[in-house]
A and B are shown apart, each in its own frame.
Chain A
Amino acid sequence: MARAAVLGRLTWQLGEVAELIQETPRVSSLVLDVPDWPGHLAGQHVDVRLTAEDGYQAQRSYSIASAPESAQVTLTVERLPDGEVSPYLVGELRTGEKVELRGPIGGYFVWRAGDERPLLLIGGGSGIVPLMAMIRHHAATAAAAPVRLLYSSRSIEDVIYKDELARLTADDTGLAVAHTLTRSQPAGWEGYSRRIDGEMVAEVAWPKKDAPAVFICGPTAFVETASSLLVESGYDPAWIRTERFGATGG
């Protein structure tokens, strides 16, 4: 499966929306049935292409949120207010309709359950999506590596997968989650309440002697801040893999 997932010519195929899950006010998951899906790795993405009746096309990349063990392909999409593709995927597309995609794509920002190094995941906003595929992969395989997630959101309403993360933490799968809410916090909030900084990273990250595997995903500025903080704290840059989410028109 892994081999099929990374080799060969890409072709466009159709996925049918089996389910739409509203994750937050601005974020929805599209659960897709994709015939002949070759399987994927945790962290990979797909390209989605929309075509208008007059032939106009728009294409964007979306991370896969589902574990490789899942039969369906789940994309979690944030609706960008000025976006072109995301408002269609989150808002226009209905259950039972089809969408054109190709993938899975990517091999750099990928975590495999056989990797026994402690895992540090740092996500900003919808940058959680490929990290969630890793967390789900970790849980589905009962992987040995302990996992720490540092997850930055604007407010509690913006936390994607909140209940599932809480459940996986309680289920003793080896996952520990630290949330930070940068704009507003609910009454009695016990997590962090600020942008990611050196003190926060020092508290959450594995000690450098553990030589962890690190995956950071989020907006470009967030990713650059998080990776610099880790390198400044003594992490080897070679441990760190990053993926930047950008506003390429949404």
Chain B
Amino acid sequence: MRQSDLKLDGNAIAGLLREIFTMEMTNAESTCAGCGKVHAVGRVDVYLNAPGVVVRCPACEQVLMRIVRGRGRYWIDLTGTRCLEFKE
């Protein structure tokens, strides 16, 4: 397996995000708390082969979100996402 193939994008967590937000989130716009760049959630870098899901900014590689699911619970860290904008 090539290392580069471990990096997916926000499309790969569309189902997980819809579990959490109960709506389609890949068109949402996320603002990186580190560099301030705005990206569609479908475009951000996603690492799935890990204990949890790690979402990173495609511009600066800072962590935007960490999502852990287990024992019937979610733990979601959005510290790295300054703003998440999406339609009602």
Instruction: Point out residues on A near B: beta carbons under 8 Å.
Output: 6-10, 45, 47, 61, 102-103, 105-109, 219-221, 224, 241-244, 246-249
Q: What are 17 of the A-B contact pairs (CB < 8 Å)?
A: A6-B23, A9-B22, A61-B12, A61-B15, A102-B15, A106-B14, A108-B11, A108-B27, A108-B41, A220-B5, A221-B4, A242-B9, A242-B43, A243-B42, A244-B11, A246-B5, A246-B6
Chain B residue with Cβ nearest A248 = B48
Is the beta-carbon distance between A108 and B40 smaller than 8 angstroms? yes
Is the beta-carbon distance between B26 and A108 smaller than 8 angstroms? yes
Q: Is B78 an interface residue when CB atoms closer than 8 A count as contact? A: no
Number of A-B contacts (CB under 8 A): 88
Q: Is B66 an interface residue when CB atoms closer than 8 A count as contact? A: no
Chain B residue with Cβ nearest A8 = B22
Cα distance, A47 to B18, chains bound together (Å) = 12
Instruction: Point out residues on B near A: beta carbons under 8 Å.
Output: 1-2, 4-12, 14-15, 18-19, 22-24, 26-27, 40-43, 48-49
Cα distance, A67 to B67, chains bound together (Å) = 32
Q: Beyond A108-B10, A241-B42, A243-B9, is A103–B26 a contact (Cβ under 8 Å)?
A: no
Is the beta-carbon distance between A10 and B4 smaller than 8 angstroms? no
Q: Across the A-B interface, give the 3 residue pairs with the lowest CB-CB distance, nearest first.
A: A108-B42, A108-B26, A107-B24
Minimum distance in angstroms from A130 CB to a CB of chain B = 9
Cα distance, A238 to B9, chains bound together (Å) = 16
Minimum distance in angstroms from A210 CB to a CB of chain B = 22
Chain A residues within 8 Å of B40, by CB: 108
Is the beta-carbon distance between B15 and A107 smaller than 8 angstroms? no
Chain B residues within 8 Å of A246, by CB: 5-8, 12, 48
Is the beta-carbon distance between A247 and B27 smaller than 8 angstroms? no
Cα distance, A8 to B49, chains bound together (Å) = 27
Chain A residue with Cβ nearest B26 = A108
Chain B residues within 8 Å of A249, by CB: 49
Chain B residue with Cβ nearest A221 = B4
Cα distance, A108 to B39, chains bound together (Å) = 11
Cα distance, A242 to B7, chains bound together (Å) = 13
Is the beta-carbon distance between A106 and B42 smaller than 8 angstroms? yes
Minimum distance in angstroms from B64 CB to a CB of chain A = 15
